[in-house]
Amino acid sequence: MTEPTATPATSAGTTQPAGAGVSDDEMSSEVAEQTSSDLAVEEAFQEEADGAASDVEAAKGGTPAP
């Protein structure tokens, strides 16, 4: 196990919010490249379009594994 240190991981004031300095178009392109085009999950989205019936149902998901 690594022992914690008093040294911060970054210098104070140098962190930025996620996506800082990236345009909306660039961010959309990145997300589109990483999004599955597999339509097998679409059924689950349709079933949950009006919200999950319960937390248990939301955790189960609605699409069986292939």
Digit-by-digit pLDDT tens for the chain (66 residues) are 678 777 777 677 777 788 888 899 998 888 888 877 766 667 766 766 677 667 777 677 655 544
CA distance 3 to 5: 6
**E strands present in the chain:** none
In a domain, 66, yes or no: yes
In a domain, 56, yes or no: yes
CA distance 38 to 66: 12
Residue (of 10, 31, 9) closest to 19 by Cα position:
31
Strand, helix or coil for residue 17: coil
Number of domains in the chain: 1
In a domain, 50, yes or no: yes
Looking at residue 54, its pLDDT comes to 74
Going by C-beta distance under 8 Å and a sequence separation of 6 or more, which residues neighbour residue 30? Answer: 22
